[in-house]
Amino acid sequence: MSVLTLLFLSACARDVGPFQPGPWGNDETTEDTAVPVFDGLLWADEFDGPAGTSPDPSKWTYDIGGHGWGNEQLEHNTDRTDNVRLSGDGVLEIVALEESYQSNAYTSGRIKTEGLFTFDYGRIEARIKVPAGSGLWPAFWMLGEDFSTIGWPDCGEIDILEARGSQPGVVHGTVHGPGYSGGSGIGSSAYGADFTADFHVYGLTKAPGRLIWDVDGVPYFELTPEFLPPESGGWVFDKNFFLILNLAVGGNFLEPPNASTPFPSMVEVDYVRVYGEQ
């Protein structure tokens, strides 16, 4: 099995979140929780450009293929503008289509900054509208830059946003690493109104020994090394990571698409921004 087939083995994560505050969770508050502030813009894509064109090749490259990605996904990811394109109004569109394509019944897109941009500590955020529909699995996530040399899960994976299209009122944040990957990933969830109805800002603050997830600036999950299982291979997140955006169809994180699933469906991304210390 190639290393690429191991990229996105996410299932139901083990929930150890110390808090789920504010409008997205329960009645706990994080007013006294100090979140590190990073305010120097290190990297960004506002997705400006003519309608129907590809995203900036100096910032993004593609994962291409239809072998299931180690997760029994049903789509073939392509670099066609049918699947990954700019709207012309400052939005990236990753589009899932129901079509026969190289032995797959669906196509979609998956773009990444591997080899082009990585960062160690800072705040990363993206303003995203996720789609509704059974079998649709949008994600905004990261892998350690040493993925190509040591593989998954030892490189570490940080899922800033995952959603199931059939569950519009919940989004998820999860990590995977040595001894806590796949169905044993560690994460928590944010609950609220219909996340598929509009854009929301999904953010992660990455500091030494600390990861904090938020929606629209409201934290809902914090992870530090003491929450890792004692038998694990340890904390693998204090290093550089690259960014990934994709829309999967089916897979072992959710149910397959059905007759009610709308095609085409798309993830819409208004911007991606990374802040750090300059």
Query: Structure pTM?
Result: 0.90
Average pLDDT, the chain: 89
Residue appearing with tokens 């991606």: 272
Number of domains into which the chain is organized: 1
Written as one string, the DSSP assignment of 185-227 is: -EEEEEE-S-GGGS-EEEEEEEETTEEEEEETTEEEEEE-GGG
- CA 7, CA 153: separation in Å to the nearest integer? 8
- CA 119, CA 40: separation in Å to the nearest integer? 13
The question of whether 157 is a catalytic residue gets the answer yes
pLDDT digits (tens, 9 = 90+) for 124-136: 999 999 999 999 9
Percentage with pLDDT > 90 across the chain: 83
For residue 76 the two structure tokens come to 């073939």
Q: Name the active-site residue from 93, 125, 162, 268.
A: 162
Is pLDDT above 70 for 23?
no
Q: Name the active-site residue from 93, 114, 157, 268.
A: 157
pLDDT digits (tens, 9 = 90+) for 230-264: 999 999 999 999 999 999 999 999 999 999 999 99
What does the pLDDT average to over 175-184? Answer: 94
Cis-peptide into 264, omega within 30 deg: yes
The alpha carbon torsion through 91, 193, 182, 160 (nearest 10 deg) reads 40
Helix (H), strand (E), coil (C) string for 115-170 = CCCCECCEEEEEEEECCCCCCEEEEEEEEECCHHHHCCCCCCEEEEEECCCCCCCE
**C-alpha distances out from residue 195 to 56, 67, 128, 172, Å:** 27, 29, 9, 12
CATH value at residue 256: 2.60.120.200
- CA 215, CA 146: separation in Å to the nearest integer? 28
pLDDT digits (tens, 9 = 90+) for 56-113: 999 999 999 999 999 999 999 999 999 999 999 999 999 999 999 999 999 999 999 9
The question of whether 222 is a catalytic residue gets the answer no
Question: 59: left (phi > 0), else alpha (psi -120 to 50), else beta?
Answer: alpha
- CA 250, CA 235: separation in Å to the nearest integer? 30
**Can you give the residue range of the structural domain that contains 45?**
3-276
Residue 11: what pLDDT?
A: 29
